[in-house]
Amino acid sequence: MMSDYEAEVAACFDLLQARFKRVVADDDARLQALLSTLEPLRGKRILDLGCGKGRFACRLAEAGADVVGIDLSAKMLEEAGGLDRVRCSARRLPFASGAFDAVIAIEVFEHLESVDDALCEARRVLRVGGSLAIIDKNAASLNALRPWLPSLAVKWIDQRRGRWMYRHDGPVRERWFWPWRLRERLRKDFDDVCVHYLLSPPEAGRWIFERIPCARLMTVWTAKVAGRAA
């Protein structure tokens, strides 16, 4: 059963589903990060948390993976044709323990009610030696268009002006993550935790983003379940 928080998230995505794309470009930095993190993909069973319309899941499936997607939004899942998908919450996954070789979450943790619950469930459904890959926004980043401003400051202003998907006086906020804090949280349940920063097209060519990776917005956290797969 959905919580009130999750129902609000689902309703927003149902209402605004037309904004979200069904395909992802070959050179998308997030896709390339997933491919390099998870390869070789052939034969791997992967769970896509918050899969939306399945644009990343489908690309992984094309590379030979067996992908299952979950999402709270019924409208988004309706558009995820050709993908095995389930409408459910990341805090209570309807899968057996050790069912997947990898779990991915692309710009999903920012919408979650409980990061801890989602991480515990991701850990549970991963096999020994399995991989977790989270791609989300860096709270320490600078704004790509105005690099003298922290991204969080621009986010706060735009939220107050009603330019974000959630109403500014509502119960849901998009949370961004301090890279080192999420890294330390991951270390409680996972091994080999790493943080990488993706260079997005608006950031490319600007010296501060080229030379100081931690100023970039999009961040990848990767981790492993201790042990070696059979």
Domain that holds residue 74: 4-137+174-199+219-224
Q: Flag whether 164 is in a domain.
A: no
Write down the pLDDT at residue 228.
Answer: 64
Q: What is the pLDDT of residues 71-109, one digit of tens each?
A: 999 999 999 988 999 999 999 999 999 999 999 999 999
Mean local confidence (pLDDT), 157-169 = 86
**Which tokens in the block code for residue 39?**
């390869």
Rounded to 5 degrees, φ, ψ at 151 are -60, -35
- What pTM was estimated for this model as a whole? 0.95
Rounded to 5 degrees, φ, ψ at 48 are -105, 105
| Least confident among 163-172, 174-183, 191-200 | 163-172
Q: Flag whether 12 is in a domain.
A: yes
- Number of structural domains (the chain) is 1
What is the CATH number for 26?
A: 3.40.50.150
Q: Flag whether 185 is in a domain.
A: yes
* Band of pLDDT at residue 165, cut at 50, 70 and 90: confident
Active site residues: 107
